[in-house]
Structure 1
Amino acid sequence: MWNVARRPRWIAMLVLCLAVAAAFALLGQWQLERSVDEATVIDRDTETVQPIDRLTEPQRAVTEAMAGHVVSATGAFVPGEFTVLSDRQQDGESGYWLVGQFRVGATEAERQTGPSLAVAIGWAPTSAELDGVIDRLPDGPLEITGRYLPSEAPTDSDFENGEHSSLAIAALINQWQSVDDVYGGYLVLHDDVGQQLISSPKPSEEVQLNWLNIFYAAEWVIFAGFAIYLWYRLVKDAWERELEEAAELAAQQSRDPQKVD
């Protein structure tokens, strides 16, 4: 078989297959590098409290760099603008969140037209327990701290019965009576105002590989190996075909030695 493989035609075919295999291998390396690059952890201080207007501004989407930072805000809760979210998990138990509209502003005049911030105030196993939390909230201006998180996507909640399970800023805007500017994320309150605090742990800094890119890298390696195998299979087929033709010619000559092709 290797006598066939050393012919110029098949050497040229081998060079072509090796070039294709090299291209596939480079693509596989690129995909593997992407999976590692996307797993790189950016060391950032999320636990030092900073004013929310230093981290972000109203109408701005929450980026990955912003998400999870502990921030502070001065303002006041808007009376009557509270929403209860159902099916909120905490420590393996399903319960309810109380969410309020918080007007950010240092003075009364600023709070009248200031931006709104959705604040997840507390968790309770039953919605009835959250009724008393609203009454215990301080009247007037106050400074709050909490972890700033991106808005959740709206879900198919049972709106006909007034039930909501997702903290979606877009949905809250439709419920609030008076809204000017709105922050793109929400704050999970860290201050104890007589309610069970919502669990909001520090963002995970574990390295997580992009397994989809690793899968693609493995595919390119398989394709590269297949290119080499294809050359081997074509050479072997050509060799076997020549053996069959030689055997057929020998059989014809044995039957009719005088026959000349």
Structure 2
Amino acid sequence: MRRPRWIGALVLSLAVAGGFAALGQWQLERAVSTGTVVNSDTETVRPLHEVSQPQQPVLGTEAAQRVEVTGHYVPSGFDILGKRLNDGTSGYWVIGQFAVDSPADTYLAVALGFTTDPALATSTAQGLRSAGSTASETLTGRYLPTEGPVVTDAQKPLIGVTALDGGPLGTTMSVSAFVNQWAEFDASADVYGGYVVSETPTAGTTAIASPMPDQSVQLNWLNIFYAAEWVVFAGFAVYFWYRLVRDAWEREQEEAAEAAGNAPDARVG
């Protein structure tokens, strides 16, 4: 082991082991960082314009944040959605189009309330449309990312239930689909990339369940497994050097024994 070539091999194996250990440390940091809560202050109500901007996607630090925004509802924007779950119960959402005061000409999708009765959902949305109120108010709720549009919403309408515009009833809170349905929305208007679940349900409906996100830290066990693997590889690098040295030593011992056994006896003659 003290021979120069094996000392050099030891330095090389320690360098390899150090690289493996560094990779294990990186995997361990990843396991912790991916399990860290992205937004731990979701329950403090903040102005929507401070949380997100129109025409922008909802980031992880913005999702599930409680927000408030001032503006008014657009009468033609009230409608209903079907196949919505509320604490495990399937039913209908009453939804609306909210025109925010600042920035101007900007709209926001809002989920207003839940009911299991399709007739009640329809009558509530129709009543809100007929009221035609555009009074300014402050909306408070939880800001959530938009849902993707579903093609089957247009292909397989719910039996006996239609949207207020006479088309098939949608099932997803898709902002991209709403901008094509809202009568009061033109090419120059902006829209928020997410929607707000109102904390105060509209009359006749119940509040939509929108609990605070889970704040507990969940470790990524796959990354921890990878980190353990790199530690094993680091140990194997040093063990591999040891086995090479031992094999060389054993080979030399065998060669020396063979040479001693084949040498002529000095006492003969």
Note the C-alpha offset of 1:163. Answer: 5.1
Unaligned runs of 5+ in 2: 157-167
Change (3 A) 1:223 1:126: farther
Q: Tell me if 1:73 matches 2:69.
A: yes
Q: Match of 1:214?
A: 224
1:188 aligns with 2:183: no
Deviation at 1:83, TM superposition (A): 4.6
- For the pair 1:87 / 2:113, whether they are aligned, the reply is no
Q: Which string of whole-angstrom CA distances, capped at 9 and with x for unpartnered residues, describes residues 120-158 of structure 1? A: 122223544311221443641242221111222344544
Contact 2:40 2:215 in 1 (8 A): no
Say if 1:120 and 1:187, in contact at 8 Å, map to a contact too: yes
CA-to-aligned-CA distance 1:33-80 (integer Å, 9 cap, x gap): 343345445775433434433433322332333322222333333334
Aligned-residue offset at 1:25: 1.0
Q: CA deviation at 1:235?
A: 3.0
CA distance, structure 1, for counterparts of residue 246 and residue 81 of structure 2 = 69
CA positional deviation for 1:217: 2.0
Amino acid at match of 2:224: I
**1:199 has 2:209 as partner:** yes
1:156-200 CA distance string (max 9 Å, x none): 544312354332222222332342110111000111322121101
Give the Å deviation of 1:16. 1.0
Of residues 177, 183, 191 in structure 1, which corresponds to 2:183?
A: 177
Q: Distance in 1 between matches of 2:151 and 2:233?
A: 43
Distance 1:248-1:169 versus aligned 2 partners, 3 A rule: farther
The one-letter code of the counterpart of 1:131 is T
C-alpha contact (below 8 Å) 1:157/1:163 kept by paired residues: no
Other-structure match for 2:120: 129
Q: Which residue in 2 is equivalent to 1:150?
A: 145
Do 2:28 and 2:223's aligned partners in 1 also have CA atoms closer than 8 Å? yes
Cα distance in 1 between the residues matched to 2:249 and 2:169 = 74
Q: Counterpart amino acid of 1:176?
A: W
2:174 equivalent to 1:165 = no
Match of 1:119 in 2: 110
The separation in 1 between residues aligned to 2:40 and 2:79, in whole angstroms, is 32
Which structure 1 residue ranges, 5 or more long, are not aligned? Answer: none
Q: Under a length normalisation based on structure 1, what TM-score does the superposition of the two structures give?
A: 0.77
Equivalent residues of 1:95, 1:126 under 8 A apart: yes
- Separation in 2, partners of 1:124, 1:233: 72
**Structure 1 residues 215 and 223, CA gap change in structure 2 (3 angstroms):** same
Structure 2 residue matching 1:175: 3-state secondary structure: coil
Given that 1:157 and 1:165 are in contact with CA atoms closer than 8 Å, whether structure 2 keeps it comes out as no
Please say which of residues 188-197 and 142-151 is displaced more in the overlay. 142-151
Question: Equivalents in 2 of 1:81, 1:142: separation in Å?
Answer: 16
Q: Is the 8 A contact 1:100 1:120 kept in 2?
A: yes
Q: CA deviation at 1:96?
A: 2.9
Give the Å deviation of 1:119.
0.5
Give the AA of the match of 1:230.
F
Aligned residues: 246
Q: Counting helix residues as a fraction of each chain, which structure ranks higher?
A: 1
Change (3 A) 1:174 1:216: farther
